[in-house]
Amino acid sequence: MIKSITLSVFALISLALSYFYEVIPAADTSAATAAAAAPAASFSGADMVNTLQLRLPPEEAPDALTATDSLFYERYSQKLGLNLDYSEDRKLLKTVTAWLGTPYRYGSSSKKKGTDCSGFVSSIYREVYGINLTHSSHSMFQQVERVRKDSIRTGDIVFFRRSPKQPIFHVGIYLKGNKFIHSASKGGVRISSLKEPFYNRNYFAAGRVN
């Protein structure tokens, strides 16, 4: 009888221990899972965006156009007779303006004594971009990547020839609005338009130095 009672007590103790070690932890785990899930359910898409924004580095604000910049572009817009959009290479604009009025001189590339067309283009590219181009309009064409006429941008080189069988005889630097600057045999360094009959008729190609 005593033995039966003892065995029953041990059985009850085992049951109690199994409850505490199995049932209670399982319940606690479910509760913990539910507790962990509750904040996640309340974490909205807006909260996620805000969190990501805090982690991502702030974008650098674009440089604002200063009053000095505006004055610069207005001044050179008037000097060159161009409608500038204030994004053009300032060094290019300043450099070509300094060459305006330089007399034409075949085989030369001097701002004071005179320059021919290829001498002018090669001088500008050396001063502005640090690029050495050959002093020959034909050879210069071999150094550029050809671009379509409707894709020309400021700083590209424009080439002219009188007919498909004739060699390139003239070059200039494209500016804006069909205007380009060059050293003409009559007038020296000046600005002309690709729409002028002579240049429109003899236009051959445009090239970009990469």
The pLDDT value given to residue 65: 77
CA of residue 1 relative to chain centroid, distance: 96
Domain shared by 124 and 184, yes or no: yes
Sign of CA dihedral 95, 124, 146, 80: positive
Q: Which of 55, 80, 97 is the last residue of a domain?
A: 55
Q: Is 117 known to be catalytic? A: yes
Q: Is 138 known to be catalytic? A: no
CB count, 10 Å around CB of 147? 16
The pLDDT value given to residue 20: 45
Tell me which of 117, 121, 175, 194 is the catalytic residue: 117
Per-residue pLDDT of the chain (210 residues; tens, 9 = 90+): 544 445 454 555 554 544 444 444 444 444 444 444 444 444 454 454 444 444 444 444 445 679 899 999 999 999 999 999 999 999 999 999 999 999 999 999 999 999 999 999 999 999 999 999 999 999 999 999 999 999 999 999 999 999 999 999 999 999 999 999 999 999 999 999 999 999 999 999 999 998
Tell me which of 170, 175, 180, 189 is the catalytic residue: 170
Q: Is 170 known to be catalytic? A: yes
Do residues 113 and 81 lie in contact, with contact meaning Cβ atoms separated by under 8 Å?
no
Q: Which single residue is written with the structure tokens 């050179």?
A: 76
Question: Which domain does 165 fall in, by range?
Answer: 89-208
Domain shared by 110 and 169, yes or no: yes
Domain shared by 28 and 113, yes or no: no
**pTM of the complete model beyond 0.85:** no
Tell me which of 102, 182, 183, 188 is the catalytic residue: 182
78 within some domain: no
